[in-house]
Structure 1
Amino acid sequence: MRMHSPSLPELHAFAAAARLGSFSRAAGELHVTQGAISRAIARLEEHLGVALFEREGRRSVLTRAGADYLDAVGPSITAIESATLAVRTRRSPRQLRLSVPPTLFSHWLIPRLPDFSARHPGIGLSFAPYRRDDPLSAPDIDAWIRIGQADWPAGITAEYLVGRELVPLCRPADLPQLRTPADLLARPLLFHTNYPGNWAHWFANVGCAHGPLVPAADFDQVSLLVQAVIAGMGVAVVQRALVEPELAAGRIAVAIALEPPVLLDRGYHLCRPAGRAPSPALENLRAWLLEQAAACA
C-alpha cells in the first residue's frame, strides 16, 4: 500500500514553526539548524502541493491551508510524543506532573493539596518549573495552570478555575474610615507592576469617577503588595484567590465588600493539549480542582 504520510521530522518542523511563528526559533527548540527546518517544510509543502506559511515581517504565519493541516495533524503529533515518552520513562499512570504559577501555587493550591492527597492517596504529584512563555506542549507535563482570557493557542483545552474576582485590600484597623469606593482615592494606591490597570478597572466597575491614578508604589509580586498593605503603605487591589490565607488570618481585610464582586476578564485556567487523552489520574485531579474552585465562588 502506498503511504501518503510525510516523515515525522517534517511534521515536527512544521508544528514547531507553526507554534512559534519562526523557523529560527523552531530550529532552536528542535536542536537543528534553521536550514534543516526550511528544507523539511519545503519538502512537506511539495508533498502536499500547498503553501503552509507566508511571511509577515519577521514572522512566519500559517496560511489557511497550513492552519487546517495543523488542526488535523497537531493532536496526533502530540499523542505520539506523549506515548513515546511514557514508554521511555515508564512513568506510572498514577503519577502526574503539573506546572503552576508560583503565586497561585503557594497561596491557593498548596493549602488545599492535603485534601487531594487524602482523597486520592495513590496519585503522586510532581511539579515542573514555571515558565511564563511555556507553549503548553511539553510531553512530560500532564497539565498546566495558567492565567489568561479566552485567547488560548489552537489545540489547547482550558477550563476556568479561579482568579477573576478583584478586591481592594487594607489593614483591618483602617476599615472604619473606608465606607465608599471614593474613600480609597484619598489613600496611597499600591499597584501591581504587571497589571497596572487593575485599579482603573475596579473603579470603573463600581462607578467611581477619578482623575489620573498615580501609584504611591508598585510591586511585581502579590506577596510584596500584601506586605506593603500590612505595613501601612496604602491600599491595593488584588485577585481574591491570591490572598485567601492572609484574609482568613485577619492580617488584611477587604476594604469595600461588593455584591456582585468586580470581575476581571482574565483568570487561572487548567490547560492541556486537546489531542492528549487525559489519564484517570488527571481526570481525578481535574474534578477536584473544579470542586475546589466552585467552593470559592
Structure 2
Amino acid sequence: MNTLPPLNTLRAFDAAARHGSFSRAADALNVTHGAVSKQIASLEAFLGVTVFERTAHGLEPTEAGAVLAPIVAEALDAMAEGVRRVRRSATPSTLTISVLPSFAAHWLIHRMPRFLDRHPEIDVRFFTTRRVVDLTKEDVDLAIRYGLGDWPGVHAECFMRETLTPVYAPALAALHPELEPTDLLRFTIHSHHTDASNWKLWRIGMGLPDSDLPPVAVYDDTALAMQAVLGGQGVILGRSPLITDALAAGRLVRLSEVDIPSAESDYLVCLERHRARPAIKAFRDWLIEEAGLH
C-alpha cells in the first residue's frame, strides 16, 4: 500500500499553507487556482480528512492541516537541500555569487579577470539582486553584502571597510571650476534612501551648518544614482569602492578631501558548512587580497 500521497499534492498544500490562499499558492507554483484546488482535493481524499477551511480571515488549516503543515514544509526543504548538494557535487568548480548590482558594476566586474586567470578551473555565475538571498534555500553559494554583518544563520566575514565622500562628474565641474563644499546647495543630491544620516555626518565633519539638503533624488539602487552622477546630473555621497575606479579614470571628481567612515562594511557571506569548499576558499582568499589593494 502506498503510504504517501503524490508529491504535487504536498507541494500545493505547502504553498497554500505558507501563503494562506489558493490564489497566492498558484502564483508561487506558476499554476492556476483550479490546479491548486484540485491537488488539495486529491490530498484530502487520500488522507480522508480536510486540511483547510475558509474563515472570515481567509484560508486556515484545520487541526489535521496544522499538524501536517510543518512536517511537509520541513520534508520539502530537506529534499530541496538534497538536490542542491547533489548538483553541487556534480559541478564542484562552479560558484554562484549573489551581489548588489552597484558593487558588481563599479568594483567587482573589473577585477574578476584576475580571479579567472588565477583559477581557470572555477566557473563563476553572478546573481545580481538587492534582495538578501536565503542561502539555505536558493541555489547560491556565496553572497557579497553591504551591511553590519549581523545576518542570522550564516558565516559573514568582513573583507573591506568603506569611507564616504561627495563626488561629481567633470561635466559638472567644468561649469563650476571653483566649486566649494557650500556649493552643494546648488545641485541635486543623488542619494540612496539610507544616506540622509551620512550626509549629516559629512556636513558636521566639514563644519557646515546642519541645514536641509538641496533637492534630493532618492533611489533604491545605488547603481542608478551613480549613473545619474556620472552623467553630470549632480552630486553623490560616494562609497569608496564604488568611486575608486571612476576617480582614477577622471570620470568623477572629489568635492573635498574629507571622508567619513561608513557604519556599514562589505562582507563575504556563506553557510558555515560550506566554508571549506575549495572554490569558496579560493574566492575568499582572492577577494581579501583584492580588497587590500583597494
Q: TM-score range by the shorter chain?
A: 0.5 to 0.7
Does the aligned pair in 1 maintain the 2:105–2:223 contact within 8 Å? no
Code of the residue aligned with 1:248 in structure 2: it is A
Query: 1:157 Cα deviation (Å)?
Result: 1.0
Please give the TM-score of this superposition, normalised by the length of structure 1. Answer: 0.66
Distance 1:224 1:99, change over 3 A: closer
1:108 CA displacement? 0.6
> Pick from 267, 270, 276: which aligns with 1:269?
267
User: In the alignment, which residue of structure 2 is the partner of 1:8?
Assistant: none
Spell out, residue by residue over 1:118-149, the C-alpha distance to the aligned partner (whole angstroms, 9 max, x if none): 11111111123525142332352111112221
1:195-240 CA distance string (max 9 Å, x none) = 2413223223444322122425444444443444455443221212
Closer/same/farther in 2, CA of residues 81 and 220 from structure 1, 3 Å limit: closer
Q: How many residues align?
A: 244
Assess if the C-alpha contact under 8 Å between 1:101 and 1:145 holds in 2.
yes
Structure showing greater radius of gyration is 2
Q: Aligned pair 1:160/2:161, yes or no?
A: no
1:84-95 equivalences under 5 Å are 84-88=83-87, 90-95=89-94
Alignment of 1:80-159 (within 5 A): 82=81, 84-88=83-87, 90-130=89-129, 132-138=131-137, 140-152=139-151, 154-159=152-157
CA distance in 2, matches of 1:41, 1:295: 55
**Given that residues 147 and 264 in structure 2 are in contact (C-alpha distance below 8 angstroms), is that contact kept between their aligned partners in structure 1?**
yes
Q: Counterpart in 2 of 1:203?
A: 203
How far did residue 40 of structure 1 move?
Answer: 8.2
Q: State the distance in 2 between where 1:164 and 1:41 align.
A: 47
Secondary structure at the counterpart of residue 195 of structure 1? coil
Q: Is the 8 A contact 1:193 1:218 kept in 2?
A: yes
Which consecutive unaligned segments of at least 5 residues does structure 1 have?
1-15, 17-21, 48-72
Match runs of 1:50-89 below 5 Å? 82=81, 84-88=83-87
* Corresponding residue number in structure 1 for 2:44: none
Distance 1:267 1:29 in 2: 36
C-alpha displacement at 1:105, in angstroms?
Answer: 0.8
Q: Distance in 1 between matches of 2:88 and 2:27?
A: 21
Cα distance between partner residues in 2 of 1:263 and 1:133? 23
In angstroms, what is the RMSD of aligned CA positions? 3.9
SS in 2 for 1:244: helix
1:28 & 1:266 partners in 2: Cα distance?
39
Q: TM-score under structure 2 normalisation?
A: 0.66
| CA distance, structure 2, for counterparts of residue 192 and residue 104 of structure 1 | 15
Equivalent position of 1:57 in the other structure: none
- In structure 2, the residue corresponding to 1:264 is in which secondary structure? strand
CA contact (8 A) 1:169 1:252 kept: yes
Question: Mean Cα displacement is larger for which, 138-147 or 84-93?
Answer: 84-93
Is 1:177 matched up with 2:178? yes
* Paired residue type of 2:160: V
d(CA) in 1 for partners of 2:275, 2:232: 50
